[in-house]
Chains A and B, each alone.
Chain A
Amino acid sequence: MVPLTHYLIFSAVLFTIGVFGVLVRRNVIVVFMSIEIMLNAVNISLIGFDRYFDQNDGQIFSFMVMCVAAAEVSIGLAIIISLFRNKPTVNLDEFNILKG
């Protein structure tokens, strides 16, 4: 069978890939998708721990994480659409009006 450490390592690798995507990519939509990768990695870790200790708490926490992710994605995409109306680009390097 699969030990718990392997699930945690898988979760850590997915989370690292997500953080890499958030820091390096310049397309706003891809940054959002990397945030979704990070949230999914945390879900794997929560469910893995629940399975190995026969509890409910992690699954309900994972349910709340999905709920928050849905709210965050909808608001984030609405913000992107509003930004796109002003300046028709999705490149993060070009949003520098607030820069000193």
Chain B
Amino acid sequence: MAANPHLLYPVEGGRAAATSGKLLSARNVTLEYRTPERLVRATHDVSFDVYGADRFVLLGPSGCGKSTLLKAVAGFIEPVAGSIEIDGERVTGPGADRIVVFQEFDQLPPWKTVLQNVVFPLRVARKLSRAEARERALHFLDKVGLSRFADAYPHTLSGGMKQRVAIARALAMQPRVLLMDEPFAALDALTRRRMQEELLRLWSDERFTLLFVTHSIEEALIVGNRILLLTPHPGRVRAELNSHQYSQESVGRGEFQQSVARIHRLLFEEETAR
């Protein structure tokens, strides 16, 4: 390994990664969803830009439309106004260039083994040959430390292991943007901590572009390098902050705590003032 892999890591096209360009941009996105009784506005006029190799976090309390926003980027929901573009190309529907890791553990088809789960999208969406798909799947299972469980069925795994499979499956697809919808929210606190560490380690190996949804301020600061703060009912942009300086080790330090307090103030002072 090179002394500083960060500088030497090649991007598509073979250039050395100096500064990446804009990859994903949301322009004045307004999203609505329908309940049987009424039309609910989830986000209103939200804009943001995600650059290549960003770990971009959407943070906000429940009702701020962050998950809906992620689903819109994934193409499951169409904006009623504004547009979402990847490399200047408008998102019109779900596609394998944006792979989602969901919060729910049932995202793994129970009829496929761990290995088959990772191979499946490579075969149906990437059209890889059986051998290629298998090789790549095993490589990424090894990355998440699950090569021993390749032939196990999902129901025999713990929650953290299931999320690891989902992450390996998403990474193996090498999507333009990896979308994660509160992927660690259903895990216990210790496992969640370890998964955050692992995600950061995977990122420094693979340098994927990540769009990450969470409602935990600490998780946002640890996982993200940039945070979009959203206020609820409907979701609107409150701030966009940097958090690249923080890692697991920063938790509890003064500066980190100040950032937590600042975000807390940004999100809730308006409410308490009223």
Q: Do A and B bind each other?
A: no
Chain B residues at the A interface, C-beta cutoff of 8 Å: none
Question: A residues bordering B, Cβ < 8 Å?
Answer: none
